[in-house]
Structure 1
């Protein structure tokens, strides 16, 4: 069989103009794994309220971070794809879950090159309904409808793989450059608490009570909260961060239902009020810098910190197209191909 790789990231509007942002948000928020309400309620919320109020503000945020080459997330993902392609003989395509760079186009690109076995690679270290799961479900639906002879295998969450933690820790260490920050905050994208419970394969373990994520369970394979906390623990251990000098928080909540806590904006505010003068923020839920890291953290977060009396605010870039990260991705996909050949 002829093998190929499909890297998949979140996506982006085609431009930072309100009409393109509205179209993008409509597709994103109508995904039942993003806003997991019954279709009528989801439609009323998204099309009746959010799309009539949010696109203009979101467009303004995108304009702050938009690059001359285009959306940072798209540009950085393309750089990653091109670098990985140089380190493997298999064709490597890139797609986005939302927006015009569709998964269907990515699969078609590979099929047109004679590929009949695809390694689907969601670019998310941690599993979540709204990231990894929606990609794999969408890809399978497309396979059944348009590519019935295509075999697709998906890469599971890689949050705790030692070589990933090594690469992530090395990148963080380089950017912190030996500076002794008073506090290092690991900020992950938030999800509603109900997503954690829905993903619990045991249907009983995930209570989000402060102890379940530290108690061994089969539920951890699909528990976003556990996987985020584990990345923090492993990196902090690797880099020998002092206890009390680092913590975990969650950003980008939407609506009024309880989301994972503590919230990033309130944590930054609290640290500033407590007299912390220097802090660094790491965003390990993202492999590519995007609106949530470049605007929400680097701009809004810094503003909050300074308003609360903080002085030195540093954001650590995502892995993006870091050469060590590229080499690791290439190693993983080449090992996959080798294992298929031996089988």
Structure 2
């Protein structure tokens, strides 16, 4: 029997500091998130970051928490339920980090008689700290506990036409009554070294502004290239020109160089350039979460208005809208029919 495992990032169980600390511990100790030697990572996370970050993060989560729970989890659950209504094989939802573990999700499928799992990382783009860590974790669980289960994985869908169409329609719908000077595509940030580590050629990625434009097998695992391709495709679909949209990267951590330009710097710069009516899209996420609801919709708006902007609109993610559900159902049905 075939089954589906939808997989998103995860969330603390509550906004209590102890729950946030537990979540951050698992997340930040992942070697694909903070990719330094174990002993250095251990000292950094457990000796420094976990002494101050949970309190700050808990405060941020409280700002966006819903009565039903974590927005990311609630939205993902709604999305999953809509998928279940449209297909006739088992579907489970799991998170890479937190109590809704991948191990539980896989076990639930196996307990229903599933012997072939289609893993769906809910990340449009390939990155070692998101897509790759989900795939590796699933492979480890199955190899250790369910060696007879077959695993197949949905590739990154950053440029799939039906995904681009659904994204573009969602953006257009939210821009109908908003007059904008500029649309900013703000992607989740990753360290520059992750780009080079993910390059199978070990020579293509130069982060020099041109390597993303040169054809290469490296693009299959290059987050930066894939983000730029998503923007190009959506801009074409929406009829945006070269002057009224741009890319940026958010959520950097520590002091290492991360992908540029930085979203917060761009927000402060736009009013000086006469772009005072801004719409912000977050295409690295399919579900609204802390990074979109607090960092972009709240903090980003405050930064932009303080810098002299006049109008600011955060475009929600596709979340559980019906067009996105139908796209996912079509991909699942394509896999089922193989």
User: Which bin holds the TM-score, normalised by the shorter protein?
Assistant: over 0.9
Q: Does 1:66 align with 2:73?
A: no
TM-score, normalised by the number of residues in structure 2 = 0.99
Within a 5 Å distance, the mapping from 1:248-263 to structure 2 comes to 248-263=247-262
Matched-pair contact (CA < 8 Å) for 1:277–1:311: yes
Q: Does 1:27 align with 2:29?
A: no
Q: Residues of 1 paired with 2:179 and 2:212: CA distance?
A: 29
Residue 202 of structure 2 corresponds to which residue in structure 1? 203
Q: Does 1:141 align with 2:140?
A: yes
Residue 231 of structure 1 corresponds to which residue in structure 2? 230
The alpha-carbon deviation at position 148 of structure 1 amounts to 1.3
User: After superposition, what is the alpha-carbon deviation per residue over 1:138-196, rounded to whole angstroms, capped at 9, x for unaligned?
Assistant: 01110011111111111110101111111111111011116331010000000000000
Q: Residues of 1 paired with 2:255 and 2:64: CA distance?
A: 27
Residue 38 of structure 2 corresponds to which residue in structure 1? 39
The alpha-carbon deviation at position 311 of structure 1 amounts to 1.1
SS at match of 1:191: coil
Q: Residues of 1 paired with 2:266 and 2:333: CA distance?
A: 41
SS at match of 2:337: helix
TM-score, normalised by the number of residues in structure 1 = 0.98
Within a 5 Å distance, the mapping from 1:67-216 to structure 2 comes to 67-177=66-176, 179-216=178-215
SS at match of 2:134: helix
Aligned length: 338
The alpha-carbon deviation at position 318 of structure 1 amounts to 0.4
Q: Residues of 2 paired with 1:28 and 1:318: CA distance?
A: 23
Q: Residues of 2 paired with 1:11 and 1:265: CA distance?
A: 24
User: After superposition, what is the alpha-carbon deviation per residue over 1:84-111, rounded to whole angstroms, capped at 9, x for unaligned?
Assistant: 1111101110000000000000001111
The alpha-carbon deviation at position 53 of structure 1 amounts to 1.1
Matched-pair contact (CA < 8 Å) for 1:5–1:91: yes
User: After superposition, what is the alpha-carbon deviation per residue over 1:281-333, rounded to whole angstroms, capped at 9, x for unaligned?
Assistant: 00000000000000000000000011011111000000100100000100100
Matched-pair contact (CA < 8 Å) for 1:9–1:122: yes
Residue 327 of structure 1 corresponds to which residue in structure 2? 326
Residue 53 of structure 1 corresponds to which residue in structure 2? 52
Q: Residues of 2 paired with 1:223 and 1:243: CA distance?
A: 23
Q: Residues of 1 paired with 2:132 and 2:152: CA distance?
A: 13
Q: Residues of 1 paired with 2:177 and 2:299: CA distance?
A: 25
Structure 2: gaps of 5 or more residues? none
Q: Does 1:18 align with 2:20?
A: no
SS at match of 1:69: coil
User: After superposition, what is the alpha-carbon deviation per residue over 1:238-279, rounded to whole angstroms, capped at 9, x for unaligned?
Assistant: 100122110000000001110000000010011123332200
Q: Residues of 1 paired with 2:78 and 2:17: CA distance?
A: 26
Structure 1: gaps of 5 or more residues? none
Matched-pair contact (CA < 8 Å) for 1:275–1:309: no
